[in-house]
């Protein structure tokens, strides 16, 4: 559906996008994962037609973006990280305004407004002024606005970053439900749990470069790794330094009185790790083995602890 090839964008001497390439398939929820400042918003603003790019190619359903930009933008819905609405209008009035400037017939505006407000769960508040909506309601209403013209792809830039846990859950459940509606979603976030909850595929963006693009399930299978979590009774000082000499240990994360030990060889860990810990003569409160989650994988990739 959407193909981006070797996209480059600079602001003055600062190169924000350094030749990124990725592809989004129809009907998928595609996660764009990266730290703040990695280039996520710049990429989405380009695809939404808000800013230009220096070089590269973008195609939508096989059509070149630059050549057919005006026509293609009608098929794209966009929700910015911090949506701004006319707070003095009600939800109904705002959608009516959107439909009117789009040239939509009056009856179709009413029908589409009712459908979307029901879908996003704001219908009961649709007669109230938007300025009185909560953060979660604003994001859900923003989804209704972005979807008003029935876009083929919906671009969501950090849709949950400013929400409380309840608001995040509501918006993520709504995004997940769009899959059943056949809507393709391009979702950017720096919150790893959001990616794990709703996305089918993911690209990891770091310092303007995509360091990995993969199906989420394949990513977990390829980079899954045993991790030993050990909690001690007292502060550990610089104990993590003592593990660097062991070739079968890939990395160690220390947080005051706890260690997370990432191992490359489970058999060696089973044979030697307990003896190593016992030699420190520090009381252990707990010792457990777990498998890495998306946060662990992200940290390893960004810190270049593995060859990609």
Within 8 A by CB and 6+ apart from 184, the residues are 1, 2, 24, 25, 26, 27, 28, 29, 30, 152, 153, 154
Whether residue 223 is predicted with pLDDT greater than 90 in this model: the reply is no
Residue-wise pLDDT tens digits, 95-118: 999 999 888 999 999 999 999 999
Say how many C-beta atoms besides its own lie within 10 A of residue 36's C-beta: 9
CA 147/CA 242 separation, integer angstroms:
55
What pLDDT does 304 receive? 61
Query: Regarding predicted confidence, which is higher, 4 or 169?
Result: 4
How far is Cα 150 from Cα 76, in angstroms, rounded to an integer? 8
Mean pLDDT of 143-168: 88
Q: What is the mean pLDDT of residues 230-234?
A: 90
Q: Which residue has the higher pLDDT, 303 or 23?
A: 23
Spell out the domains of the chain, with CATH numbers in brackets: 2-216 (3.40.50.300), 225-291 (3.30.70)
**Which has the higher per-residue pLDDT, 278 or 225?**
278
Percent with pLDDT over 70 in the chain: 97
Q: What's the CA gap between 179 and 186, in Å, rounded?
A: 12
- Kindly report which listed range (43-52, 122-131, 168-177, 197-206) carries the lowest average pLDDT score: 168-177
Instruction: Answer for the pair 39, 204: CB distance below 8 angstroms, yes or no.
Output: no
State residue 79's pLDDT score: 92
153-157/76-79 β-pairing: parallel
pTM for the predicted model, two decimal places: 0.76
pLDDT at 37: 84
What number of other Cβ atoms are within 10 A of residue 294's Cβ?
21
pLDDT of residue 20: 95
Q: What pLDDT, on the 0 to 100 scale, is given for residue 305?
A: 44
For residues 141 and 133, is the Cβ–Cβ distance under 8 A?
Answer: yes
The CA distances from residue 131 to 8, 90, 125, 134, 246, in Å, are: 38, 8, 11, 9, 59
Q: Over 70: is that where the pLDDT of 307 sits? A: no
């Amino acid at each position: 559906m959407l193909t981006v090839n070797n996209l480059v964008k600079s602001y003055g001497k600062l190169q924000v996008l350094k030749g990124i390439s990725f592809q989004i398939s129809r009907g998928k929820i595609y996660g764009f994962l990266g730290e703040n400042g990695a280039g996520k918003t710049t990429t989405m603003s380009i695809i939404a037609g808000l800013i230009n790019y220096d070089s590269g190619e973008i195609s939508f359903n096989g059509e070149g973006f630059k050549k057919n930009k005006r026509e293609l933008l009608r098929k794209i819905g966009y929700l910015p990280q911090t949506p701004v609405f006319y707070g003095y209008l009600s939800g109904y009035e705002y959608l009516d305004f959107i439909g009117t400037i789009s040239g939509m017939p009056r009856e179709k505006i009413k029908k589409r407004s009712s459908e979307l407000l029901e879908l996003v769960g704001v219908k009961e508040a649709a007669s109230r002024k938007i300025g009185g909506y909560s953060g979660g309601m604003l994001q859900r209403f923003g989804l209704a606005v972005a979807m008003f013209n029935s876009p083929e792809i919906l671009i969501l830039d950090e849709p949950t970053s400013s929400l409380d846990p309840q608001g995040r859950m509501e918006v993520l459940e709504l995004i997940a439900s769009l899959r059943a509606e056949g809507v393709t979603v391009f979702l950017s976030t720096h919150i790893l749990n959001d990616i794990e909850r709703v996305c089918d595929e993911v690209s990891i963006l770091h310092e303007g470069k995509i360091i990995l693009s993969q199906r989420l399930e394949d990513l977990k299978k390829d980079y899954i790794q045993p991790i030993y979590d050990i909690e001690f009774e007292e502060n550990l000082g610089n104990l993590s330094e003592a593990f660097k000499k062991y070739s079968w240990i890939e990395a160690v994360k220390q947080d005051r009185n706890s260690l997370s030990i990432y191992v490359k060889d489970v058999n060696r860990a089973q044979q030697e790790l307990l003896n190593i810990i016992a030699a420190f003569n520090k009381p252990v409160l707990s010792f457990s083995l777990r498998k890495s989650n998306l946060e662990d994988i992200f940290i390893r990739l960004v810190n270049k602890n593995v060859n990609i």
